Amino acid sequence: DNVFVWFASLLAALCILTLLPRGLVGKPAEEGDALHRVKRGWVWNQFFVLEEYTGLEPLYIGKLHSDMDRGDGSIKYILSGEGAGTTFTIDDGTGDIHAIQRLDREVKAQYLLRAQARNRLTDQPLEPESQFVVKIQDINDNEPKFPDGPYHASVPEMSHIGTSVIQLTATDADDPTYGSSARVVYSILEGQPYFSVDAKTGVVRVSLADMDRETRENYTVVIQAKDMGGQLGGLAGTTSVNIRLGDVNDNPPTFDQRLYQMSIPEAAPVGSVVGRIWAKDRDVGVNAEMEYSIIDGDGRDTFDISTDPTNLFGIITVKRPLNFESKPSYTLKVEGANTHLDPAFRHRVPFKDMTIVHVSVEDVDEPPLFDAPAYYVELAEDAEIGTVVRTVTARDPDAANNTVRYSIEKSSDPDKFFYLEITSGSLMTVRSLDREEVGWHNITILAMEMNNPTQISSASVAVRVLDVNDNPPSLTHYLEAYVCESAKAGQLIQTVTAVDPDQPLGGQHFSYRLAPEAANNPNFTLRDNQDNTAWILTRRGGWSQQDQTVFYLPVVISDGEQPVQTSTSTLTVRVCSCDREGNVMSCDAEAHSLPASLSRGALIAILALMILLMLSLRTHRKKPYLCDEEENVHENIVRYDDEGGGEEDTEAFDIGAMWNPREAHHPQPPPHPGKTRQDMLPEIESLSRYVPQACVAGGGLGEGSNVRGYVLAKLLDADSDACAPPYDSLQTYAYEGEGSVAESLSSLQSGASNTDHEYDYLSDWGPRFKKLAEMYGALETNGAPAW
């Protein structure tokens, strides 16, 4: 420590002598020049100071001095810049600079400071601001370090002496330009005699020949880096290098056994695994990968061998079907060889080995064997029932040769189109075939041994149903068209096409014509385009919805196959009002008859208002009109607003009271005799003709009377009662519903059926239903033809 302090003091003294202002030994500058130029006595370059000072007193750096300083304290020295006030301080009277913190060159190598002299009283600058550097000089206080250690490396086994393994680099934080503090020398502390290190470059090399990975794989080497050129007193750092010997293919494979015994049942399917063999190799990775082959033996064509996914084991599999009765055993000569050979070692030994595999075939009871695994048959769809499609044959391959019985797997023929004779195996039809319904039948035939029902085999029979021209063509999609009122004669209104479920070999060829009854109609004509399409053309102009709104045009379509099939489809043509471009605006004839002053929207609004008014009146009935309890039964019938079930509906109310009216209270005589209701007449005639009539006499009904008589009696009483509200109405449900003769009168679910409904019975319901009968076409409005 004394030597270090002495050396630091000597260096500081040299710095002061070197850097004192030259004005102290030369001629002082003029006072007036202080603000115009830098005088030679006020020029500072740099100070030097050693790092890592450990003394108790602040470290003296240097001294600032101005030629104008007379020693009377009138000049104040100011220090600014990097570290001023924190790392460095200055005596403002004497100009002495000290370091008050420990300096480390590896943290900061130099500081840039600025010096200034000012008048203490006026604070006017006496010297211009001068810049100088305080440079920290290095001492050997940092040992070499390996920034990336510890290291991992590998080198192939059997490498030659001098083979490079890895290069290490140590760094020293000391100044490499100053002395030998950062000059590093490498040496090996642990790892001899296997490895060595170059003292200057740090390259680790192999120093022992023929190192074998299979003997020892991993090595740990300790390397030292020392500064000061490795001299005594230098600092040192160490690191470890984990070196692994890489594998090379220097070992041949070897089978553990010279003879392998294996067995396989004769019923094993092709591809079944017989067994596994392994030629072991001391090498690893790709150097231990094997390839196996059968090089000789009587089973070369019956068995196969392949390498498993790990490329280590040989898997022997069945290549062809086995038969114990034909050959009970096989012998295989198998070779295993490395797939990746190293040229440096392939001359030493052959990298392959051989072994013998003996395979025994085990006898099993086998199922019947068909003469073909699958059958294909073509059959016309008009084949008669009982036609033999195909006869299949199966036999027992075992020596016992048991009798075989045949059957059809039920799931393959769920609709039971075919029958299989149990002993002969003859497959025949039992139902008519239809190619358009089912074009292919895939039948599974089962064959079973009589003495062992568990032995079952199967074969498939694919029956292709051949087409016969047995379906007539029909129009597709466009069964409805329209003609504009402004249409002219000869105008195209529709292009029609046909479809036929049959598939003739030469393709479809349709012909079109109008039905004989419509061939000479004055409205439309048909032109066959000879390309499976036809045009519907107008024959005249002057169309009007007021004259006729709908025309029905029967079209006859024929196909071109034998026997020729013909059908008639009806095309509906509506007369519509169109705009100038021919776009349909309306096809409703009533739209032309509406008054100009009343729009459709207004009619809908009026209708909705009337419905709301009726519902309101029905909901808010006035209570004072009810005179007694007798109306309870009547009200029960009125509030039942679901569709009745006819005579079978017995859940809405107690039907017993209606069948036994004597149990109800007898109606009281009206308070005003002779006064009857005028708003409703006791008549029900819409459905009464379908129900046998019963006499209503004496105000009562017999045990066998029908409900209608009772209802009419109650209706007569209500008409004679002055207390009954005039807006009351009687709902009769006994003659409506599924149980009645007339069935349901409701329109619910009426659109669920696509079939045309006949409404001729509406004309028999009397004048009240005349308008409804006209709307549904039950009454003929005029004698105009349909086409």
How far apart are alpha carbons 609 and 628 in whole angstroms? 34
Residue with tokens 């027992």, as numbered in its chain: 396
How does DSSP classify residue 670? P
Q: What is the mean pLDDT of residues 342-361?
A: 90
How far apart are alpha carbons 650 and 635 in whole angstroms? 17
How far apart are alpha carbons 1 and 54 in whole angstroms? 9
Asked if 544 and 576 count as a contact pair (C-beta separation under 8 A), the reply is no
- Whether pLDDT at 30 is above 60: no
Q: What's residue 103's pLDDT?
A: 86
Q: What is the mean pLDDT of residues 9-24?
A: 40
Asked if 49 and 134 count as a contact pair (C-beta separation under 8 A), the reply is yes
Q: What's residue 780's pLDDT?
A: 54
**DSSP sequence for 455-486:** -EEEEEEEEEEEP-S-S--EE-S--EEEEETT
Asked if 266 and 276 count as a contact pair (C-beta separation under 8 A), the reply is no
Confidence of residue 174 (pLDDT cuts 50, 70, 90): confident
Confidence of residue 71 (pLDDT cuts 50, 70, 90): confident
Asked if 23 and 40 count as a contact pair (C-beta separation under 8 A), the reply is yes
- Whether pLDDT at 201 is above 80: yes
How far apart are alpha carbons 749 and 756 in whole angstroms? 14
* Residue 131 backbone phi and psi in degrees, to 5: -105, 140
Share of the chain above pLDDT 70, in %: 75
Q: What is the mean pLDDT of residues 648-665?
A: 48
Q: What is the mean pLDDT of residues 510-522?
A: 91
How far apart are alpha carbons 274 and 280 in whole angstroms? 20
How far apart are alpha carbons 383 and 434 in whole angstroms? 10
Q: What's residue 66's pLDDT?
A: 84
> Are β-strands 185-190 and 130-137 bridged in parallel, bridged antiparallel, or unpaired?
unpaired
Output the average pLDDT for the chain.
79
* AA letter at 578: C
Residue 483's nearest CA partner among 555, 553, 556, 537 is 537
Q: What's residue 731's pLDDT?
A: 56
Which residues are 236's β-sheet partners?
226
Q: What's residue 675's pLDDT?
A: 41
Q: Give the residue ranges of DSSP H helices in 124-172.
A: none
Q: Order across the sheet with 533-538: list the strands.
A: 474-475, 492-499, 533-538, 524-528
Q: What's residue 423's pLDDT?
A: 92
How remote is the C-alpha of 18 from its chain's centroid? 84
The burial class, CB within 10 Å (0-12 / 13-18 / 19+), for 469 is middle
pLDDT for 488-514, tens place per residue?
A: 999 999 999 999 888 888 788 999 999
> CB-based contacts of 726: which residues, under 8 Å, 6+ apart?
677, 679
How far are the Cα atoms of 369, 719, 730 from residue 640, in angstroms, in the given order?
A: 74, 21, 11
Q: What is the mean pLDDT of residues 160-184?
A: 88
How many residues are recorded in the chain? 787
How far apart are alpha carbons 543 and 607 in whole angstroms? 32
Which residues are 514's β-sheet partners?
555
Q: What's residue 221's pLDDT?
A: 96
Q: What is the mean pLDDT of residues 642-654?
A: 51
pLDDT for 684-700, tens place per residue?
A: 333 333 334 433 344 44
- Whether pLDDT at 240 is above 60: yes
Q: What is the mean pLDDT of residues 655-668?
A: 47
Asked if 36 and 88 count as a contact pair (C-beta separation under 8 A), the reply is no
> Are β-strands 313-318 and 46-50 bridged in parallel, bridged antiparallel, or unpaired?
unpaired
Q: How many CA atoms lie within 13 A of 440 on its CB side?
A: 6
**DSSP sequence for 302-322:** TEEEEE-TTSSEEEEEE-S--
- Whether pLDDT at 634 is above 60: no
Q: What is the mean pLDDT of residues 743-760?
A: 56
Q: What's residue 599's pLDDT?
A: 57
Which residues are 243's β-sheet partners?
153, 219
How far apart are alpha carbons 715 and 712 in whole angstroms? 5
- Whether pLDDT at 268 is above 50: yes
Confidence of residue 656 (pLDDT cuts 50, 70, 90): low
Confidence of residue 269 (pLDDT cuts 50, 70, 90): very high
Q: Looking at 71-80, 328-337, 723-732, which range is the least confident one? A: 723-732
- Residue with the bigger pLDDT between 135 and 765: it is 135
Residue 524's nearest CA partner among 505, 552, 548, 546 is 552
Confidence of residue 9 (pLDDT cuts 50, 70, 90): very low
Helix/strand/coil for 538: strand
How far apart are alpha carbons 683 and 254 in whole angstroms? 114
Neighbours of 700 (CB within 10 A): 14
Residue 435's nearest CA partner among 417, 447, 453, 460 is 417
How far apart are alpha carbons 636 and 730 in whole angstroms? 11
- Residue with the bigger pLDDT between 234 and 220: it is 220
How does DSSP classify residue 767? G
How far apart are alpha carbons 226 and 629 in whole angstroms? 125
How far apart are alpha carbons 372 and 47 in whole angstroms? 109
Q: What's residue 597's pLDDT?
A: 46
* Residue 101 backbone phi and psi in degrees, to 5: -130, 160
Q: What's residue 640's pLDDT?
A: 46
Q: What's residue 20's pLDDT?
A: 40
* AA letter at 100: I
* AA letter at 501: P
- Whether pLDDT at 622 is above 80: no
How remote is the C-alpha of 259 from its chain's centroid? 54
- Residue with the bigger pLDDT between 122 and 4: it is 122
Torsion, Cα 719 723 726 732, to 10 degrees, reads -50
Q: What's residue 531's pLDDT?
A: 92
The two three-digit tokens of residue 276, written as one number: 């596994």
Confidence of residue 388 (pLDDT cuts 50, 70, 90): very high
pLDDT for 546-604, tens place per residue?
A: 889 999 999 999 988 888 989 998 999 999 999 988 888 888 755 444 444 455 666 77
Confidence of residue 777 (pLDDT cuts 50, 70, 90): low
Q: What is the mean pLDDT of residues 141-147?
A: 89
Residue 334's nearest CA partner among 293, 383, 286 is 293
Q: Looking at 273-277, 362-366, 635-639, which range is the least confident one? A: 635-639
Q: What's residue 365's pLDDT?
A: 84
Q: What's residue 23's pLDDT?
A: 32
Q: Looking at 72-86, 328-342, 624-638, which range is the least confident one? A: 624-638
Q: What's residue 334's pLDDT?
A: 96
The two three-digit tokens of residue 783, written as one number: 């004698």
pLDDT for 34-62, tens place per residue?
A: 334 444 466 666 788 888 777 788 888 88
Confidence of residue 724 (pLDDT cuts 50, 70, 90): low
